[in-house]
Structure 1
Amino acid sequence: MKNASGESLKKLVAVVGPTGVGKTETGLFLAERFSGEIVNFDSVQVYKYLDIGTAKPSAFERSRVPHHLIDFLEPDEPFNAARFVELADQVIDEITARGHLPILVGGTGLYLKALLHGLFPVEVPEELRARLKERLEQEGLSLLYEELKKVDPEAAAKIHPHDGVRILRALEVYYATGRPFSALAREHAFASRRYLVLKVGLTLPREELYRRLEARVDRMLSEGLLEEVKELLARGYSPTLKPLQSIGYRHMIAYLQGKLSFEEAVRLMKRDTRHYAKRQLTWFRADPEIVWFQPNEKEQIAHKVQEFLV
C-alpha cells in the first residue's frame, strides 16, 4: 500500500490496551524478538520526573531495547497530539532507516489515531486562543467544561473534566468554525492511512484487571509515589500543571494540600484508575482493526507479527 505521494507505507506494530494490562512487557518481548525499537505513546510518560505514578519502564527495561519519546520533557512544557505526530514521524523514519521495526506502546488512543490517520486542520485565530486562556484563568476549568457540554456534548463526553488542553481545543474549534469539534472529527473520519500497522490489543477479564490495578497502586505507594510528588512540588512545578492532574499525582497533591485523608486519596486513586482503564477499553474496543490477546499469549502474538511482516 502507498501514500498520496506514491511512497510505500512503513510498517509499524502498536501494542494497545488499558493501563496495567502488561503492554510494557509485551512491547519489550516483541522488540527483542523482531529487532524492534519502542516508541512511547503515553501522554504522561513523556515527562521527566514522573516515573512511579506513570509506571514508566525502568532503567533496566529501557537498556534492553531503545526507547523513544519517553522521559524527555519538563513537566511544564506543553505537549499535544499534533506535536506527538511530528516527533513520532521523525523517530519512525530513523528506526526504519536502521532496518528496525517501530513498535508503538502506550494507552493514549488519540495520539495513536492521530499518528496513523492524521489530524484535521483548523485555523484558530490567536486572539480567540488568548481569550479562552484568559477565561480559563479567570473562570476556571470547570466552567469551561460546562460550556463545552452545552455546545458540544458529544466531545465533552469523551474528555475528562481535568483535561484542560482538550477542553480548550474543542472550544477553540467550535468558536473558530461555528461547528462542534465532534462533527468535524466525524467528517474527517480519520480515513487516510499514513502507515501500515498491526494493532495488538491486550485484555484481561475485568475482575482480574481490577485486581492488578489495585495491586499496582499499592506498589506505586510502596515504591515512593508520595515522595515523588513532594519532589516535583519542591522543584517548583505548579500542582495545576496538566501532567500533575493525572491519576495518582492529583490524589497525592490533594492529600498534601489537606483536602483528602491519605486513606481517601488512595481509595479515589484506585477508583479513578479503574474508571480510566474502562474508558481506555471502550476507546480501543471501538476499533475493529485491533487483534486481541491475553498478555500471556506472547507466542501467539509473535506469530501474528511474523505474518504481518512477511
Structure 2
Amino acid sequence: MKPLLVILGPTASGKTNLATKVCSQIGGELISADSRQVYRGMNIGTGKDLHEFTTEGKTIPYHLIDILDAGEQYNVNEFQKDFIRVHQSIQQRNAVPVVCGGTGFYIHSLLKGHAFGSIPVNENLRESLELFSKEELAERFSKTISGYNDLADTSTRKRLIRAIEISEYLIAHPDETAERFGSNPGYNAIIYGLNLALETRRDRITTRLKSRLENGLIEEVEELLAKGLSAEQLIYYGLEYKFVTMYLQGELSLEEMSSKLETEIHRFAKRQMTFFRKMEKDGLVINWLDENLSVDQKAKHIVADYQGKCSSEI
C-alpha cells in the first residue's frame, strides 16, 4: 500500500487549493482532516471553499465533508473510524488518498495510531470544568500528567476540557488503558506542510475574514440559529461561530466582534503551527514547502517528490 499523501498547514495557508491541484494530477481523492467541515450548513465559517474542488477541468471527489448535521458531536475516534472506511473505498478504486487539513490532532491520530478518542465521556467532570476559565483549564491540564499531554490539541476550550477528561481517565485506569488504548501502528505517510511568513499569514487571515463577514458569514450563523441550534451549541464550535453568535445575541458590537474574532483566528493559526512542530518532535517528518513557489509549482513539486518516494519504496 502506498504511503498516505498528507498536506497540512494553518488556517488561510491555501491547503485546499493546493490539494485539489495535486489530486487532479495524480488521480487523487481528497479526505478532509478538519474537525468542523464535517457539519452541513457550516460552510463559510469553516472555509470549505467547495468551489475549489473543480480544478483544471476536473471535479475532485472529496470525503468527510458535510457528513453530519450541525449540532451533532464528532471526535477523533469517529474520525478514525470514518477514515478507515473512506480510505479502503478510495484504494479499491485505485485512486490516491490525499489527506488535507489543519486539525493536527486528527492527522496525528492517523499517523501514530492512538485511540484516546474512545475514552468515555465523564459528564460530572465536564460539568465541574465548565466553571473554570480557559486559563484555569490550561493550568489544570498542565498539572495532569499522563501519556496524553504531548498529543493533546488544546486550541479551544472544548478541547481543553476533553484533554483533561482523557488525562484523568488514563491516570485512573492505567491497566485498562494499556490494553485498550495502547499504541497501534499508524499509517505510513509522506507529509507536506504549508507555512507562510507571519505577516503574509496575518494579511491573509485579515483579508479572508473581511470577505467572509461581507459575504454571508453572519447570515450563515443566523440561519443555523433559525433552524433550532442554540447559542450554546454554536458557541461550542468556537471562533467564527462563537463570536458571531455573541454579536447576534447583543453581547458584542459589530466592531468588537470583528476585532476579537480576528485576534482569535491569529492565535488559532499560531496554535496550529505549534502542534505541527510538536508532531515533528514526535518523529513525524514534515516537508515544508517553499512559500515563494506558486501553487502550481508547489503541486508539481509534491507530485514529483511523492511519486519518486513511492517508486523508491517498491
Give the TM bin, normalised by the shorter chain. Answer: 0.7 to 0.9
Partner of 1:167: 161
- Quick one: distance in 1 between partners of 2:42 and 2:88? 27
Q: Which residue type is aligned with residue 106 of structure 2?
A: Y
Kindly report which structure 2 residues correspond to 1:259-298, keeping only aligned pairs within 5 A, or say none.
Answer: 259-286=251-278, 287=280, 288-293=284-289, 294=291, 296=294, 297-298=297-298
**Do the aligned partners of 1:15 and 1:106 also contact (CA within 8 Å) in 2?**
yes
Kindly report which structure 2 residues correspond to 1:37-186, keeping only aligned pairs within 5 A, or say none.
Answer: 37-59=29-51, 61=53, 64-120=59-115, 129-135=122-128, 139=131, 145=137, 148-149=140-141, 151-152=143-144, 155=149, 159-163=154-158, 165-175=159-169, 177-178=171-172
What SS does the corresponding residue of 1:25 show, helix, strand or coil? helix
- Quick one: distance in 1 between partners of 2:234 and 2:136? 16
Partner of 1:204: 196
How far apart are residue 147 of structure 1 and its match?
Answer: 7.4
**Do the aligned partners of 1:16 and 1:202 also contact (CA within 8 Å) in 2?**
yes
1:223 equivalenced with 2:219 (yes/no): no
**Do the aligned partners of 1:162 and 1:245 also contact (CA within 8 Å) in 2?**
no
Distance 1:123-1:31 versus aligned 2 partners, 3 A rule: closer
Partner of 1:4: none
When the two chains are superposed, the root-mean-square deviation of aligned CA atoms in Å is: 3.0
1:62-98 deviations in Å (ceiling 9; x for gaps) = 6711100001111221111111001001100110111
Q: Which residue type is aligned with residue 302 of structure 1?
A: V
Q: Which residue type is aligned with residue 230 of structure 1?
A: E
How far apart are residue 264 of structure 1 and its match?
Answer: 1.0
How far apart are residue 124 of structure 1 and its match?
Answer: 5.5
Which deviates the most, 253-262 or 298-307? 298-307
Which deviates the most, 283-292 or 32-41? 283-292
Partner of 2:305: 304
Distance 1:243-1:177 versus aligned 2 partners, 3 A rule: same
Q: Which residue type is aligned with residue 97 of structure 1?
A: Q
Alignment identity in percent?
A: 31
Which deviates the most, 272-281 or 167-176? 167-176
Q: Which residue type is aligned with residue 32 of structure 1?
A: S
1:158-194 deviations in Å (ceiling 9; x for gaps) = 513522x5513522541563389xxx9xx96x6x543
**Unaligned segments of structure 1, at least 5 residues:** 1-8
TM-score (normalised: structure 2):
0.82
**Unaligned segments of structure 2, at least 5 residues:** none
Partner of 2:226: 234
TM-score (normalised: structure 1):
0.83
